[in-house]
Structure 1
Amino acid sequence: MSLSTRTRTRTLALTAGAAVLALALTACGSAATGGTGGTDRADGMTGGHGMAGMDHGAASAAATTAAPAAGAPAAERNGYRLTSAVDTLPAGAPAEYRFTVTGPDGAPVTAYETDQTKRMHFYAIRSDLTGFQHLHPEMAADGTWTAPLAAPAAGTWRVYASFVPDSGAGKGAGLVLSRTVDVPGEGAAADAPLPAATGTTTVDGYTVTVEGAPAAGRAGELKVTVARDGRPVTDLQPYLETFAHLTAFHAGDQAFAHLHPQARAEAGSTGGPTLSFHAELPAGGDWRLFLQFMTGGTLHTAALTLRVG
């Protein structure tokens, strides 16, 4: 990450009145409300995907009377808008979601900073917090992005575009914009119950354990440990310049959080088994966590529910 990018990242604006959600990792590891420590938020200006642990500062932006309520995912923030002609997608088949980001001048944004090796991070999740997808779409010359979604189940989905403009009024300030899309079909109205809160889950033979009891609005620590067959995993490979990628969604309002390790993972290095997170979650209730990590060239995604008091 360049020095100029670090400097710009330190001055990311936060939507006034939004509760702070800061998750900066104290060791090597996506937020409904913004703050320091590389936190992205679906409700306004964000800390961007830049490496956590950088001092993003506590800059704020003036709220407007038209600003969405704090914590609510929104398609427009600070003059930037996520637009798409796609309102529905087919169920059970791969689909392309095309969208454009327009700037305060109304023109498509075509200049983006590279953030964790990508110019755009795109997420999709069903209303019951199932079907998580994290993609890196391609942009055409006219500013249209195409995200290749894996076969979505019928239901209501929410998509999130996380990016840092490299020109215009919002240059250097991370944003997360969000829209909904319908996937018609049998079972569209049926939401699966959210799995109960637990500290452990298993994926692809790996056991992921989360320790810690963060309280809403108060700083706390989360420790994530990865093991296999009862033995600590120390061969985590770099993924998006980190050893793991953590995204969280708040049950009910689908507020969004992105977190990642403080330390940068150098090419060819390995990490694990324990990743430490400094967490300050603004809202109580259940958060669905998705931890992505890579071993042996394979990307794994572990999911569990975290209860915040």
Structure 2
Amino acid sequence: MSAVTPSALRRSLVAAGTAAVLAAALAACGSSDSSMPGMDHGTHPSIAASTGSAPGTEHHSMPGMDHSSMGDGLADAKDGYALTSAATELPADKGTAYAFKITGPDGQPVTSFAVDQTKRMHFYAIRSDLTGFQHLHPTMAPDGTWTANLTALTPGTWRTYASFTPETGSAKGEDFVLSRTITVPGTAKDTPLPAAAAITETDGYTVTVKGQPLAGMAHPLTVTISKDGKPVTDLQPYLDTYAHLTAFHEGDQAFAHLHPETKVTGDNGGPDLNFQAMLPKPGNWRLFLQFQTGGSLHTAALTLNVS
């Protein structure tokens, strides 16, 4: 029997247009996977400059929104807006501050940002082998300089991402993800990407992912969280949702940000979280799921293969 190509499969799904055919494409991968070495849970406290929300400034994301309009996050400039930083190197094996600015079409620093998921700026750092994930919420000085306090970085090439929404100007209300690369000097040792898996564990929790997204198509994805064989039902809101899911593409580090559709109703989320996943490229994606219980933030990582 001849193999079905990803493009042929996508055409057949679109042509069929039925839930039955879409469900037939769902297939969970089956091996276990552990959290990546060097992973940071992003537990740094935020200061009011990055968290406060004045009346009328909240930027609301619809349930399930994947922010696909932001692109793949691999450029440092888009539509006249740019991520700038004087830093091209950061020291190895110790915490360090990374300073950057967002400039607008007029070349001046942007200082007015809408609040998205309770923050005015989401900042990420990840190594080229997709280890060392950090998700931070930096603070902004009056001159538009943001400072992200990174935990220790291992030698190698890292990419930093700034996710934001201008509150004023030509791109008011538009979501952006811009990125730059930095070098951490020293002997770099790459960690092979773990194989695709449907299950991973972190901090005693078991995270199971069901669904097999197809590149360039919105597709259902369900995440189930359990502990000691029992469903977890005490998920607490984190960034105005029950889970924060970020994905990075193997090879080029393309960025994707997914939101659960599950409505927040208090400190009783779980065990199932439903997503509409839109991953733009085929290949392996490294997923980082952040969720909170008992006031503690947990980060689970697994590899998902996209056809």
TM-score, with length taken from structure 1: 0.77
**Pairwise CA distance, 1:57:** 11
Percent of matched pairs sharing the same residue: 62
**1: CA distance, partners of 2:259 / 2:216:** 20
Q: Is the 8 A contact 1:94 1:151 kept in 2?
A: yes
Q: Is the partner of 1:107 in helix, strand or coil?
A: coil
Cα contact 1:51–1:264 (8 A) shared by 2:
no
Gaps in structure 2 of 5+ consecutive residues: 1-57
2:288 corresponds to: 290
CA distance in 2, matches of 1:76, 1:169: 15
Counterpart-to-counterpart distance in 2, 1:95 and 1:86? 11
Distance 1:109 1:202 in 2: 40
Residue number in structure 2 paired with 1:280: 278
- Per the normalisation by structure 2, the TM-score is 0.77
Q: How far apart are 1:264 and its partner, in Å?
A: 4.7
Q: Deviations over 1:180-227 (max 9, x none)?
A: 0100012x2x32110100000000000000011122233321110000
Check if 1:120 corresponds to 2:118: no
Q: CA distance change for structure 1 residues 223 and 239 in 2, over 3 Å: closer, same or farther?
A: same
SS in structure 2 of the partner of residue 213 of structure 1: coil
CA-based RMSD: 2.2
Question: Corresponding residue for 1:262?
Answer: 261
> What is the rounded CA distance, in whole Å, between the counterparts of 2:66 and 2:134 in structure 1?
27
- The answer to whether the 8 A contact 1:83-1:100 is kept is yes
Q: Aligned AA for 2:161?
A: Y
Equivalent position of 2:233 in the other structure: 234
How much does 1:88 deviate? 0.5
Assess if the C-alpha contact under 8 Å between 1:123 and 1:160 holds in 2: yes
1:52/1:261 contact within 8 Å kept:
no
2:92 pairs with 1:94: no
Looking at structure 1, the residues matched to 62 and 298 of structure 2 have their Cα atoms a distance apart, in angstroms, of: 21
Letter in 2 for 1:91: A
State the one-letter code of the partner of 1:216.
A
**Displacement of 1:278 after TM fit?**
1.8
Counterpart for residue 223 of structure 2: 224
Mapping of residues 25-40 of structure 1, within 5 Å: none
Please say if 1:83 is aligned against 2:93: no
| Number of positions where the alignment pairs a residue of Structure 1 with one of Structure 2 | 250
2:306 corresponds to 1:308: yes
Q: In the alignment, residue 85 of structure 2 is paired with which amino acid?
A: S
Shift of 1:265: 2.6
Where does the alignment leave 5 or more consecutive residues of structure 1 unmatched? 1-47, 62-69
In structure 1, how many angstroms separate the alpha carbons of the residues matched to 2:268 and 2:298?
16
Q: CA deviation at 1:54?
A: 7.4
Instruction: Tell me if the contact between 1:93 and 1:152 (Cα under 8 Å) persists in the aligned partners.
Output: yes
Structure 1 residue aligned with 2:6: none
Which structure has the highest helix share of the two?
Answer: 2
CA contact (8 A) 1:223 1:276 kept: yes
Residue 51 of structure 1 is aligned with which of 57, 61, 65? 61
The residue that corresponds to 1:32 in the other structure is: none
